[in-house]
Each structure stands twice: as C-alpha cells, then as structure tokens.
Amino acid sequence: MILNHIWGLYAHPAQEWKSIDSKRESFLYSCSHILLIAILPCLAAYYASAHIGWSVGARESIYLTQSSGVMLGVAMYIGILGATFALAYLIYWMAKTFGADPSYTKSLELAAYAATPVIMSGIASVYPELWFVASVFLIGVAYSVYLLYSG
C-alpha cells in the first residue's frame, strides 16, 4: 500500500527502499502514488490562499479569490506532476548514460518516492507564514535529496 511506503521512507528508509525494490510495482501504481500525494499540498495551498490569507511580516493578510485559488491549486498540481515526470526521465537518462539498464517505471518509482517529502512539505502552507513554509520546504528538500541518494 502507498501509505505504508510513505511511513517506511520516513521511519526506516534503507529497509523501505529494499522493500520497494523487491515488489516490482507497475507504471500505473507509481503514477497513482504521485497523483494521490500531489493533491494534498494543492488543497492546502488553495485553502490557505482563499480562506486564511497570506501575511508577510507585519502587513495585513492577502487573500485570493476562490477562482484564483482554484487556478493556483491546478497549476501547482500540474507543476508537481511535471517536475516528478521530468525527474524520472532525468534518472532514466542518467542510468542509461552510466551503463545501467533501468526501465522508465523503476525510474518513475524512484522519482515518486524520493520527491514525496518535498511534495508533502507543501502541506505547511496551511499555516501561511513565509518563514515557516520556507523552513519546512528546505527540510523537505534536504530529506528528498537524502532519499534520492540512498535510493
């Protein structure tokens, strides 16, 4: 199950990478992981921008209209999917360049699971303070790089 892998990547990444590698998941399963995980930060960004408002420093909160918030969420969703598929292609290309024989499905699986922490850090936008969102995002990027390296 997808959620078991997510928790395993946070709790014990080395063992979870072995478990993921042994299962040989399909292309559709890897896509479903990204399609489900990418929804959460988009919903959080919509809610924060349209209902809570963003504040930078001591200024008053800035709100988007609901239609602008929906467009923001959709654009964010498409961006997350595009970036993940681009990372998967980059992994596939580099593996071919260095003599490995991967499938695109395995590359997508690595990209999807390695990108999960940075994608999930988008949930921090529910508390729309710039310093908080930036800090959580940097932690998510650092852990994603670690997962990419260890995977």
pLDDT tens-digit map of 76-115:
999 999 999 999 999 999 988 888 888 888 888 888 888 8
Whether the per-residue pLDDT at 11 is higher than 70: the answer is: yes
Number of domains observed in the structure of the chain: 1
Residue 65 lies in a domain: yes
The model's pTM is: 0.84
Q: Which of 120, 124, 121, 136 is nearest to 47 (CA)?
A: 124
Q: Which two tokens stand for residue 134?
A: 């930036």
Expressed as residue numbers, the domain containing 130 is 25-150
Name the region of 53 (left: φ>0; alpha: ψ -120 to 50; beta: rest).
left
Give pLDDT tens digits for 30-73: 788 889 889 999 999 899 888 888 877 767 878 888 998 899 89
Report the pLDDT value the prediction gives residue 84, as an integer from 0 to 100: 92
Place of tokens 């959080």: 44
Report the pLDDT value the prediction gives residue 59, as an integer from 0 to 100: 73
Residue 20 lies in a domain: no
Report the pLDDT value the prediction gives residue 4, as an integer from 0 to 100: 67
Whether the per-residue pLDDT at 22 is higher than 90: the answer is: no
Sign for the CA dihedral angle at 142, 41, 109, 79 comes to negative
Residue 87 lies in a domain: yes
Residue 54 lies in a domain: yes
Sign for the CA dihedral angle at 16, 21, 25, 27 comes to positive
Residue 13 lies in a domain: no
Report the pLDDT value the prediction gives residue 148, as an integer from 0 to 100: 81
